[in-house]
Amino acid sequence: MPLSCIIILDLSLLVFALSIFKSLFQRKPVPSLPPGPRGLPLIGNVLDMPLEKEWLTFAKWGDIWGDICSVTVLGQPIIILNSRKAAYEMLDKKSVIYSDRPTLQMGGELVGWKNTLVLLPYGDRFRRYRRLFHSLVGSHATIKKFIPVEELETRRFLRRVLAKPEDLASHIRKTAGAIILRISHGYEVKENNDPFIELADRATEQFSLATAPGRFLVDFMPTLRYVPSWLPGAGFQKKAAAWSATLSNMVEQPHNFVKQQLAAGTAAISFSSAFLESKRLSSEEEFDLKWSAASLYAGAADTTVSAIYSFFLAMTLYPEVAKKAQEEIDSVVGGDRLPTYADRDSLPYVDALIKEVFRWNTVVPTAVPHRAMQDDVHDGYYIPKGSLIIPNIWKLMHDPKVYADPFTFRPERFLAMKDRLAEPDPRQICFGFGRRPSFLTIREGMHLADASAFLSCALSLAVFDISKYVENNVVIEPVHDNTTGTISHPKPFKCCIKPRSGKAVSLIQGEETK
């Protein structure tokens, strides 16, 4: 072989060897999971998972490890998002990857909430549910047709509070349920001990407990779902059976009511009756309809209850805010009538107050987890397929970098001034992200809860003074504390609710004929 060929061959081999050497020693590092607390072998971070108010622990982890952090529980990666930017960029901008729901063994499989929109896997049935809902609550314009129902039930709420102010919490729950049941099933609730209201209240409370992150070990060890209930430590099976029966009744009984009313020719117009009347439904279509209607109740009623109850707590703790809102209502509406939804554009401070209600008391603190449908690398971190993604909405609503003095109830933050811009509208994120918002069916469904909150707050401020409760000459100071669960409520508190004047009493009682 000529010397020149040998030299060329040697040089080629040298270049090849150098390229191999470079690829071996200069290879880019494989991305790792986001940082987080160090786990133990095999069990991972089981012992680190909080048993209550998990949003507070998640927020602390965010302070230590950053806006995107993670834990692993028995091999299950859990990614926690502690900033608006991180949640938006992952769940909104990459919604095609993060639109699935995890299979929750306790709440989804054992209890049965997997058939409601909130836990329904991404697929054909999910899209059918969305089409059903879009015809009902797909935009602010479609919500307007329900305003008369909301105004009627809110006026009834005022009469209940006037008669028994000490039963405030039950009045709020009854009113929220009455509005949704009228819309979903055309059902008018009974004034006392309504069976559908009581049934739905139990079911939604059980949902909140059954789906709380880290509460049940079976969610991380799916084989436990096959353990018989009589074995020691399998008490969750008895709970699941009881909760499943409650859920089944909540779905079936109102649906059967509509069918009976249609057969008798007395059915009111509603979400359910409209579809049952339109054509003969297949068994699959009827299944979709009754679970969609149940999703509507479960998604809107309990979240609205939490928001309105927190409004009364805020007015008790911040009387100066209530006074300022009342002055605006008096100047715009006057004293000869109650406010209506049509007044909203003329009541900017009250509108800002509603936004602050949703921000100050986060109804769904950690949302419902999303699930990664494929491997992803996000912001330099590896997100394995099947990871659970939890946006810590409580932290987002109380981030001092976004909301100044976040633990203070201050509606002014949402009013633009000459020297500052308004702070971000919390309603854009408090209902969840991406294609899978937390509860209110589709993102636009927030208008339903928002309208209910506005009417309850505006009408209550127009006719009632809300103050701290005095018992035996001692002022009872309420504490802003919340219950544990996927849907969080202010813990019970006492307040004093009195009519502002004799004219206010006349306005409340004068509505009885309407």
pLDDT of residue 13: 53
- Using an 8 Å Cβ cutoff, are 366 and 391 in contact? yes
pLDDT value at residue 140 = 54
278 burial level (CB within 10 Å; 0-12, 13-18, 19+)? exposed
pLDDT > 90? residue 514:
no
Mean local confidence (pLDDT), 252-274:
91
The average confidence (pLDDT) of the chain is 86
Position 79 scores a pLDDT of 97
Q: Is the pLDDT of residue 20 over 70?
A: no
Residue 493 has pLDDT above 60, yes or no: yes
pLDDT, position 125:
83
- What is the structure's pLDDT at 372? 94
User: What's the pLDDT tens digit per position in 415-465?
Assistant: 988 777 899 999 888 877 765 554 444 444 567 788 899 999 999 999 999
> Among 16-30, 234-248, 393-407, which stretch is predicted with the lowest mean pLDDT?
16-30
Q: With pLDDT > 70 as the criterion, what percentage of the chain qualifies?
A: 89
Please give the average per-residue pLDDT across 396-414, as a whole number.
Answer: 96
pLDDT of residue 441: 41
pLDDT of 23 reads 53
Q: What phi, psi does 449 have (nearest 5°)? A: -65, -40
19 Cα distance to chain centroid = 54
Q: What spatial distance separates the first Cα and last Cα of the chain, rounded to whole Å?
A: 108
**270 and 416 Cβ atoms separated by less than 8 Å:** no
pLDDT band at 65 (very low <50, low <70, confident <90, very high): very high
Residue pointed to by tokens 């009538």: 337
pLDDT higher than threshold 90 for residue 183: no
Question: What domains can be seen in the chain, in order of their start residue?
Answer: 30-509 (1.10.630.10)
Region 98-127: mean pLDDT is 85
Give the least confident one: 202-216, 250-264, 323-337, 481-495: 202-216
Residue 231's pLDDT is: 84
Structural element, H or E, at residue 80: strand 76-81
**pLDDT for 442:** 42
**pLDDT of 134 above 80:** no
